[in-house]
Homo-oligomer: A and B are copies of this chain.
Amino acid sequence: MRIYGGEHPNQQILSRIATNDGHGENSSYFDGWKAYENDPFHLTGNPKGVIQMGLAENQLSLDLIQDWLKKNPQASICTGEGVSEFEAIANFQDYHGLPAFRKAIAQFMEKVRGGRARFDPDRIVMSGGATGAQETIAFCLADPGEAFLIPTPYYPGFDRDFRWRTGVQLLPIHCHSSNKFKITQAALETAYRKARNSHVRVKGILVTNPSNPLGTTMDRETLRTLVSFVNEKRMHLVCDEIFSGTVFDKPRYVSVSEVIEDDPYCDRDLIHIAYSLSKDLGVPGFRVGVIYSYNDAVVSCARKMSSFGLVSTQTQHLLASMLGDEEFTTSFLATSRTRLCRRRRVFTEGLKRVGIHCLDGNAGLFCWMDLRPLLKEATVEAELRLWRVIINDVKLNISPGSSFHCSEPGWFRVCFANMDDTAMQIALSRIKKFVYRENDAAVQAKNKRRWDDALRLSLPRRFEDPTIMTPHLMSPHSPLVQAAT
């Protein structure tokens, strides 16, 4: 028995934000994670479990950091060698951050970009990971209802990070496989015009470079197009460069910071970079996000907002030492890139052997896998049907392109750096088995359809063409597929 009031649904007492789905976690991107969590693969403990390939995590070089820690106990406030700093560090709460940390981050950002751009430590603003960086930038640059343009496919987390609590919209710039998903001036203009026609004020463009999910880097010409466009239209360019340290192959990385240093006419007040150590170092647990803005007012405002997501000073202090060690960072970046390059090569070559192709990529912790030939029809529904089979039967959590707002069904993001070699080989062999099974089914279906067709010649055949399901390279005669069966 209650003496106060009666039944009152939360809808009436909570906020709209708390009762809507704006966080985006009901998308298939996050559903895949749940499937993994319910049945996680473990080599000995659960060898038939779901292998997590939906998480862009970099586990390939953590041993290097571990070695460094062993050799540098003074870097931590929790060791006999460093504990005398404990009081000063635990108490430090200035939102400018430890000066040594800001300096080390700026230095590391320069190193990652090959020394071709300079970063001023006083413009380094902390945030709770890249997640916090994106939200802070959105709060600084746009009012609720205003929009940013964003090329598709794009990272699903942006729907939460950039939009959820800020009320800012993200409007797609549709990109296509025909030109390897490059942003063109025409696509930009179309997206912009469409927004204007709907009376939405466009405040900027948000891009990831290197691209998540494509695993590609942007060429200088595209960056110049973007810089010109935002200058002409008086809007912002936000470049998420959180994978910049993962560029492991040619063409070499070009950051927006390099492009604007070459462009005396660019209004730098419009240019902002989001950065993080989660991907490049592989320490997402440490929650180190960075906003680097060339606009003084944004630096000042973002710094005030950083109160909501400061980096723990325990972590700042450690990283100040580690990233300040130039010898270590040089060697770490080189080794990490070599290992990522090798991992991607082994993985994509394994896929190729069963006829699966990925978009050419030179960066990131994932590849953009083309399963269009396996779709029964070129629709999102068919993509999601295939995805459910891959999750539930093949037991791989990969992420469907539709969750990245990709406009072409059949692409999937597959992460390859969050596991060891053995797990990756098991994932490859599962894919091979699956392709073999699909091919087999396709051959049977083809025979069956021939028989059916003889009876019912008038059936529409467009999406039943067995060649759509059986690309010429996806042959059961591939030696590796045979070995795996």
Contacts and interface: CB of A to CB of B under 8 A. Distances in A.
A70 B86 CA distance: 11
A74 to B, nearest CB: 10
Interface in A312-361: 312-316, 318
Interface residues of A, number: 90
B309 A312 contact: no
B314 A128 contact: no
A308 B234 contact: no
Given A83-B69, A284-B91, A286-B90, A139 B17 contact: yes
B5 A231 contact: yes
Contacts of A143: 15-17
B8 A234 contact: yes
A304 B86 contact: no
A232 interface: yes
A297 B9 CA distance: 10
A320 to B, nearest CB: 13
A289 to B, nearest CB: 9
A380 interface: no
Contacts of A142: 15
A234 B13 contact: yes
A295 B161 CA distance: 24
Given A267-B2, A308-B132, A139 B73 contact: no
B297 A14 contact: yes
Interface in A364-412: none
Contacts of A80: 70, 73
Interface string A124-142: 0000110110010001111
Given A4-B267, A15-B141, A79-B79, 12 more contacts: A10-B295, A13-B141, A13-B235, A13-B269, A18-B139, A70-B80, A90-B283, A91-B284, A93-B278, A132-B308, A135-B308, A314-B318
8 contacts: A4-B234, A13-B203, A70-B83, A76-B78, A78-B79, A78-B318, A89-B285, A315-B315
